[in-house]
C-alpha cells in the first residue's frame, strides 16, 4: 500500500495526462475519496506546481475543485483534490450526442465557470470536454479541472500584449485558430474553444475528428462558419467570439441570454 503524506492511500490509476498520472485515493482518517495527481519532479515545466498555485488562488471560485494537499512524494510532485465524476467526453461516449437544448444548457454552465476565472484575471487555455467533470453522483453540477496551462492575462502593467509564442497551447481539436498560429492567448480563445466543444456535444464528434494533419484541421476551423449543418445559434456564437479583439472583455451576459432565448424557443 502506498501512503502519501501519512494520510492518503493510493487505490488505483484512473487517468493520465500529457505530463503525469492521476489516481483515485482515500483519506485514511475520514474515508473520503480523493483524486491524486502526480508529476515527476524532473519535469521542466512544473505544470502541477503551477496548477496547485492556481487552485489555491481560485479556492473561493464556484465549480473549481479545492486542493487538499500539495507536496513531494519520492520523485514526484503530488496534488490531492476532490474526486469528481465522469467528464463531458464520457457523457458523449455513452449517449453519442446531445440535443440542442441540453447542449446550450451545458454551454451556459460552462460560460459561467469561464467568466468567473476570467474575472480573476486568468485564462484557462485548455478548454475541452475532458476537462469538465460532473460532481460525484450529481449530473447537475459541472467542474472545470486541469489548470496546468492556465495563465494570468492581467499583470502589473495591465493586459498582456499580443505576441508570437514558441509553441501551441491546448488540444488540437479544441484549440483556437490563434493557438494554431502560435499567438498569445486571451479570453477570446477560451470562448472559441467552447464553441468547438458545443459543436462536439451536439454532433457527438467534430468535422476534423479523424484528421491528424494539423494544417488541415486549421483550414476546417477557418471554414466552419460555412457549414450549414450546424445550428444557427452555435454558428452565431463562434462568429461572435472570433470577432473579439485580443484585449476585449467578452459580453458573457449577452451570449447567455441568447442561449436562454433559444432554449425557450425549443421548449
16 burial type by CB count under 10 A (0-12 exposed, 13-18 middle, 19+ buried): exposed
Residue 267 has pLDDT above 80, yes or no: no
Same domain membership, residue 135 and residue 78: no
Same domain membership, residue 234 and residue 186: yes
Residue 18 has pLDDT above 70, yes or no: no
Same domain membership, residue 195 and residue 166: yes
Mean of pLDDT values over 112-116 = 98
Same domain membership, residue 94 and residue 54: no
Mean of pLDDT values over 163-170 = 92
The residue from 58, 82, 106 where one domain ends is 82
Q: pLDDT-based confidence at 137, cuts 50/70/90?
A: confident
Same domain membership, residue 75 and residue 14: yes
Residue 20 has pLDDT above 90, yes or no: no
Per-residue pLDDT tens digits for 74-85: 999 999 999 999
CA-to-CA distance for 102 and 266, rounded, in angstroms? 10
Mean of pLDDT values over 148-177 = 94
Give me the number of domains the chain comprises: 2
Predicted local distance difference test score (pLDDT) of residue 19: 72
The residue from 38, 55, 82 where one domain ends is 82
Q: Give the active site residues.
A: 126
Same domain membership, residue 139 and residue 226: yes
Torsion over CA of 14, 44, 132 and 231, rounded to 10 degrees? -130
| Structural domain span for residue 155 | 88-266
Same domain membership, residue 125 and residue 78: no
The residue from 61, 82, 103 where one domain ends is 82
Predicted local distance difference test score (pLDDT) of residue 138: 87
> 176 vs 148, which has greater pLDDT?
176
Mean of pLDDT values over 98-118 = 98
Nearest residue to 188 (alpha-carbon basis) of 244, 251, 253, 133: 244
Predicted local distance difference test score (pLDDT) of residue 185: 98
Q: What is the DSSP string of 12-43?
A: EEEEE-SS-EEEEEEETTT--EEEEEEEETT-
Same domain membership, residue 132 and residue 40: no
Residue 98 has pLDDT above 90, yes or no: yes
Residue 87 has pLDDT above 70, yes or no: yes
Q: If DSSP codes are grouped into helix, strand and coil, which group holds residue 150?
A: coil
Mean of pLDDT values over 145-174 = 94
Same domain membership, residue 95 and residue 70: no
Domain of 71: which CATH number? 3.30.200.20
CA-to-CA distance for 50 and 110, rounded, in angstroms? 22
Same domain membership, residue 135 and residue 51: no
Same domain membership, residue 108 and residue 77: no
Beta pairing, strands 8-16 & 21-27: antiparallel
Domain of 103: which CATH number? 1.10.510.10
Amino acid at each position: 500500500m502506498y501512503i502519501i503524506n501519512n494520510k492518503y492511500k493510493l487505490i488505483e490509476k484512473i487517468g493520465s495526462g500529457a505530463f503525469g498520472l492521476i489516481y483515485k485515493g482515500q483519506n485514511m482518517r475520514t474515508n473520503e475519496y480523493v483524486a491524486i495527481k502526480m508529476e515527476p519532479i524532473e519535469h521542466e515545466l512544473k505544470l502541477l506546481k503551477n496548477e496547485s498555485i492556481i487552485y489555491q488562488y481560485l479556492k473561493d471560485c464556484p465549480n473549481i475543485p479545492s486542493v487538499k494537499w500539495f507536496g513531494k512524494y519520492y520523485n514526484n510532485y503530488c496534488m490531492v483534490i476532490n474526486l469528481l465524476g465522469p467528464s463531458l467526453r464520457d457523457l458523449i461516449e455513452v449517449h453519442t450526442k446531445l440535443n440542442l437544448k441540453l447542449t446550450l444548457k451545458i454551454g451556459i454552465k460552462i460560460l459561467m465557470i469561464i467568466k468567473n476565472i476570467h474575472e480573476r484575471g486568468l485564462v484557462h487555455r485548455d478548454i475541452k470536454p475532458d476537462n469538465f467533470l460532473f460532481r460525484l453522483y450529481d449530473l447537475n453540477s459541472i467542474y472545470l479541472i486541469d489548470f496546468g496551462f492556465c495563465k494570468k492575462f492581467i499583470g502589473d502593467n495591465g493586459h498582456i500584449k499580443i505576441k508570437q509564442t514558441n509553441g501551441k497551447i491546448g488540444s488540437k481539436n479544441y484549440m483556437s485558430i490563434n493557438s494554431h498560429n502560435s499567438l498569445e492567448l486571451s479570453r477570446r480563445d477560451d470562448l472559441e474553444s467552447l464553441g468547438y466543444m458545443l459543436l462536439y456535444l451536439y454532433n457527438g464528434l467534430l468535422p476534423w475528428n479523424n484528421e491528424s494533419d494539423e494544417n488541415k484541421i486549421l483550414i476546417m476551423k477557418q471554414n466552419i462558419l460555412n457549414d450549414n449543418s450546424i445550428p444557427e445559434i452555435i454558428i452565431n456564437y463562434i462568429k461572435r467570439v472570433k470577432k473579439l479583439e485580443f484585449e476585449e472583455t467578452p459580453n458573457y451576459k449577452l451570449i447567455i441570454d441568447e442561449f436562454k432565448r433559444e432554449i425557450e424557443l425549443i421548449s
